[in-house]
Structure 1
Amino acid sequence: MNTQIQHLYDLAQCPERRIIGLMSGTSMDGLDVALCRIQGSGPQTRVSLTHFETVPYTDDLKAEIRKVFAKKEIDFQHLCVLNPWIGRLHGQMVNDCLRQWGLTASEVDLVASHGQTVFHAPKIQHQLAQFPNATLQIGDGDHVAVTTGIITLSDFRQKHIAKGGEGAPLAVYGDYFIFSKKDENRLMLNMGGIANFTYLPGNLNADEVFTTDTGPGNTLIDAFTRQLFNQPYDADGRIAAQGTINPALLHELKQHPFFAAPVPKTTGPEVFSLAYVEAARQRSQTDRDLAPEDLLATLTRFSAETIVEAIQKAIKPGEPYSVYWSGGGMHNPILTSHIREMLPNFRFANTDDLGIPGDAKEAILFAVLANEAVAGGHTSFGNRQGVPTVSMGKVSFPD
Structure 2
Amino acid sequence: MKLKPMIVAGIMSGTSADGIDVAVVQIAPARGRPNLTLLVHRGFRYPPALRRAVLTAMNAKSTTTAELAKLNWRLGIAYAEAVKATIKQHKIKIDLVGCHGQTLYHQARPASYADKSFACTWQAGEAAIIAAETGVPVVSNFRTADMANGGQGAPLVPLLDYVMFSDPRRNRVLQNIGGIANLTALPAGAYSDKIVAFDTGPGNMVIDALALKLFNKNYDRNGTTAAKGQILVPVLKEMLRDRYFALKPPRTTGREQFGREYAASFLAACRRHSRKPEDALATATALTAETIARSFESFVLPTMRSKPIDYIVSGGGARNPTLMKMLEAKLGPLGCTLSTTEQFGMPAEAKEAAAFALMAWMTWHYLPGNVPSATGAKRPVILGQFSYA
Normalised by the shorter chain, which TM-score bucket? over 0.9
Could you say what secondary structure the match of 1:119 adopts? strand
Q: Give unpaired runs (5+ residues) of structure 2.
A: none
* Aligned twin of 1:4: none
Aligned AA (1:328): G
Q: Residues 221, 94 of structure 1: CA spacing in aligned structure 2 closer, same or farther, 3 A cutoff?
A: same
RMSD: 2.2
1:195 Cα offset (Å): 0.1
Matched, 1:136 2:122: yes
Matched, 1:328 2:319: no
* Aligned twin of 1:391: 382
* Aligned twin of 1:361: 351
1:69-122 deviation line (CA, Å, top 9, x unaligned): 12232223201221122112211221122221224xxx2110001111111111
- Tell me the TM-score normalized by structure 1: 0.90
Aligned AA (1:251): K
1:209-253 deviation line (CA, Å, top 9, x unaligned): 021001100001001101110111101111001100011111121
Alpha-carbon distance in structure 2 between the residues aligned to 1:217 and 1:45: 30
Question: 336, 342, 350: which one pairs with 1:346?
Answer: 336
Alpha-carbon distance in structure 2 between the residues aligned to 1:331 and 1:213: 19
Question: 283, 294, 297: which one pairs with 1:309?
Answer: 294
1:383 Cα offset (Å): 6.7
Alpha-carbon distance in structure 2 between the residues aligned to 1:385 and 1:375: 22
Assess if the C-alpha contact under 8 Å between 1:43 and 1:178 holds in 2.
Answer: no
- Worse-matched range after superposition: 287-296 or 221-230: 287-296
* Number of aligned positions between the proteins: 382
1:322-380 deviation line (CA, Å, top 9, x unaligned): 11100000111111111111112211111122222221101001111111112362799
Q: Give unpaired runs (5+ residues) of structure 1.
A: 1-11
Alpha-carbon distance in structure 2 between the residues aligned to 1:25 and 1:380: 18
* Aligned twin of 1:8: none
1:288 Cα offset (Å): 7.3
Q: Residues 145, 385 of structure 1: CA spacing in aligned structure 2 closer, same or farther, 3 A cutoff?
A: closer
* Aligned twin of 1:7: none
Question: 206, 211, 232: which one pairs with 2:197?
Answer: 211
Assess if the C-alpha contact under 8 Å between 1:42 and 1:378 holds in 2.
Answer: no
* Aligned twin of 1:5: none
Question: 30, 49, 56: which one pairs with 1:67?
Answer: 56
Alpha-carbon distance in structure 2 between the residues aligned to 1:271 and 1:252: 16
1:14-53 deviation line (CA, Å, top 9, x unaligned): 6410000000101122111111110016842111111211
Question: 234, 244, 247: which one pairs with 2:220?
Answer: 234
Assess if the C-alpha contact under 8 Å between 2:371 and 2:380 holds in 1.
Answer: yes
Alignment of 1:148-297 (within 5 A): 148-280=134-266, 284=269, 286-287=271-272, 289-297=274-282
Alpha-carbon distance in structure 2 between the residues aligned to 1:331 and 1:285: 25
Could you say what secondary structure the match of 2:257 adopts? coil
Alpha-carbon distance in structure 1 between the residues aligned to 2:242 and 2:53: 30
- Tell me the TM-score normalized by structure 2: 0.92
1:127 Cα offset (Å): 6.5
* Aligned twin of 1:17: 6
Aligned AA (2:211): T
1:243-269 deviation line (CA, Å, top 9, x unaligned): 000111111211211111111200112
Q: Residues 182, 290 of structure 1: CA spacing in aligned structure 2 closer, same or farther, 3 A cutoff?
A: same
Assess if the C-alpha contact under 8 Å between 1:84 and 1:139 holds in 2.
Answer: yes
Alignment of 1:73-152 (within 5 A): 73-103=62-92, 107-123=93-109, 126=111, 130-152=116-138
